[in-house]
Chains A and B, each alone.
Chain A
Amino acid sequence: MRMTKILAMAALVGLAASAAWAQKTTEEGIAEYRAMLQDGNPAELFEAKGEDLWKKPRGPKNASLEKCDLGKGAGVVKGAFVELPRYFPDTKRVQDLESRLLTCMETLQGFNAAEIANTPFGKGEQANLEGLVAWISSESRGMKFNLPQSRTEEKTMYEVGKRLFFARAGTHDFACASCHGTDNKRIRLQDLPNLTKPSGAASGFGSWPAYRVSSGELWGMQRRLNDCYRQQRFPYPRFGSDATIALAVYMGVTGKGGESVAPAIKR
């Protein structure tokens, strides 16, 4: 009796060990695949388009975006991305890159921001936003995230973002934290960064905007969060809404000091 139990245990341990080995090679295979994609990221195509869109006079006012203030003064692009979202006195709002671009497109170029916010991803001016966020983020590549937290509004958004991150709801009781609240977890074969820790938040938050291999599209943080909420079985987060910006503040502040690699290439 005792003997059979020991034998059974040994068999189980053996199985577990071989399963772990097979898993290791799968993970190595995936790492190899990702490494092969690094050279030649199609996000570059979007960056080139975005730079053009920034400098070209467009919209009802036939103006470029070159006077747009992304937080570091009118027209300053370098380093702006790693300090967003932040508070803007003119709109009296904490804004992320995408909602700030809408402000500039409305005030400088005469576009209707609300209309663009309601346009489906990848269509019309939303497609142009993809290029803009790709280029603007690329201008901060290699710089460290340093979101300002000096203003009450910015601290408030961090606190709200933290609560949203842990909010379980919807048909499946999912919160952001269900998948992104623990170290070393995977969904299927995809590694899940722990967004509650500095390193995880830096790598998770810090690789968007990214070229999505699965759809062949450039996704900004707004679209990334939108699809997270879709898969969480939540209702639809409005483009540029305070909930999405608060979450970005929570992740970005948590990831302070991490290096921006955006726009990255992702599955």
Chain B
Amino acid sequence: MRKPMKFLLPAAAFLLAGCASAPAAPDYDQLTVAIMKASFRDQGIARTDRLAQDDTNRACSAADVAGKPLDEATARALEAANLKTVKMPLDGKFLGDWKEGEKIAQDGRGMTWNDKAGALSGGNCYNCHQISKQELSFGTIGPSLYHYGKTRGVTDPDSPAARAVVEYTWRKIWNAKSYNACSDMPRFGHAGILNEQQIRDVMALLLDPKSPVNQ
């Protein structure tokens, strides 16, 4: 007789069978890692190495399973480590073209197993945020960014007065975990989702007084 379910990898089958007969509570964390490894495969650019968690993701996932936030010290340490990864623009230019930024904010594509290696990705911004007033189809996972620059008093993004807001926004987009270790927001610069110029354009959408966001 043929063995059914051949596509179940032996490692996971062994682990499951093993834990079923073990009297003590199994190590669910270890089992989860093994099952994950056995359950996913490479497809296109989406390789199984993406399953590996860095310190931040590992700590935040564990906190979510436990149902309680990270302790202060761990959170601050992770935020500091993430802040260190931020690359500020070498030429000191923080803002690009808000019209391009709007296109990036609308675009939700990129980095799935259907996407090509090296293709530019979108920012997915409207999936989670209200941004310009014109787009009614926006998500609410993140806060509204409508009037982002205006409410922060940015009238001239190049002025010294606006400096702190501009730099904060750059860091937030580059690596959102710099300010909130377990933020739901992707680390656009750090993970290479958006390039420097794309981040400049999204910056302009949020901070340029001429952008519809600030009208």
Contact = CB atoms under 8 A, between A and B. Distances in A.
Interface stretch (B6-14, B94-102, B161-169, B203-211): B6-14
B71 interface: no
Contacts of B187: 173
Contacts of A248: none
A156 interface: yes
Most interface-central of B4, B41, B147, B177 (chain A CB within 10 A): B4
Contact of B7 (A23, A164, A188, A238): A238
Contact of A106 (B4, B126, B138): B4
A173 B64 CA distance: 14
Contact of A19 (B32, B39, B43, B146): B146
Interface stretch (A36-44, A45-53, A91-99, A252-260): A91-99
A249 B184 CA distance: 25
Interface stretch (A62-70, A138-146, A212-220, A239-247): A239-247
Nearest to A188: B137
B141 A173 contact: no
B52 A169 contact: yes
B20 A156 contact: yes
Contact of B126 (A118, A167, A188, A239): A188
Interface in A201-245: 229-231, 233-244
Interface of B: 2, 4-8, 12-13, 16-17, 19-20, 26, 28-29, 31-32, 35-36, 38-43, 46-48, 50-53, 56-57, 60-61, 64-65, 111-114, 124, 126-128, 130, 133, 136-141, 144, 146-147, 151, 177, 184, 186-187, 191-193
Q: Which 10 residue pairs are nearest across A and B when measured between Cβ atoms?
A: A243-B39, A241-B39, A236-B43, A166-B64, A172-B186, A168-B57, A163-B32, A114-B6, A159-B28, A235-B40
